[in-house]
């Protein structure tokens, strides 16, 4: 079972994440998700606000890869797992409330990712499986 370390959690909190999903035709989709956060030791979440391709993909249950890198330190991680689109309940309500306080509209959903594998993206170690 893949678990986040404190170093990974700190990097996610400090850097912008890029989220990759798979389109219905099998082609890749990738985009920045500044709302990416750690939910717990085994899950990441992000707000899906645009309702475009990432939203369509996670509604279909697309697998997800999230890359987070600190360019200055040449250090990073790729988290791979399964997605769940959450459109109601406490997790969604908390995200909608935070966005409202910032003057932004509610997200289409909160995407919850169960981390299954973690890879090192650091210089000289890129692609090495760390956990999972």
Does the residue 69 lie in any domain?
Answer: yes
How far apart, in whole angstroms, are the C-alpha atoms of residue 92 and residue 112? 10
Q: What is the CATH number of the domain that holds 105?
A: 2.30.110.10
Tens-place pLDDT, residues 79-98: 999 999 999 999 888 988 88
Does the residue 1 lie in any domain?
Answer: no
Indicate the number of domains in the chain: 1
Single out the residue of 1, 35, 40, 31 nearest to residue 15, CA to CA: 35
pTM for this prediction:
0.90
Tens-place pLDDT, residues 37-95: 999 999 999 998 877 899 999 999 899 999 999 999 999 999 999 999 999 999 888 98
Q: Domain residues for 13?
A: 6-131
Single out the residue of 80, 75, 68, 70 nearest to residue 18, CA to CA: 68
How far apart, in whole angstroms, are the C-alpha atoms of residue 18 and residue 76? 12
């Amino acid at each position: 079972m893949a678990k986040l370390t404190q170093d990974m959690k700190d990097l996610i909190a400090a850097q912008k994440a890029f989220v990759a999903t798979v389109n219905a035709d099998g082609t890749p989709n990738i985009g920045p998700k500044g709302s990416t956060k750690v939910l717990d030791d085994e899950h990441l979440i992000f707000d899906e606000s645009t309702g475009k391709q990432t939203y369509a993909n996670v509604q279909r249950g697309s697998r997800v890869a999230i890359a987070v890198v600190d360019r200055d330190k040449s250090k990073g991680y790729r988290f791979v797992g399964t997605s769940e689109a959450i459109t109601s309940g406490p997790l969604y309500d908390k995200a909608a409330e935070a966005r409202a306080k910032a003057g932004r509209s509610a997200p289409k959903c909160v995407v919850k990712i169960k981390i299954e594998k973690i890879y090192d993206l650091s210089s000289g170690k890129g692609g090495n499986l760390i956990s999972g």
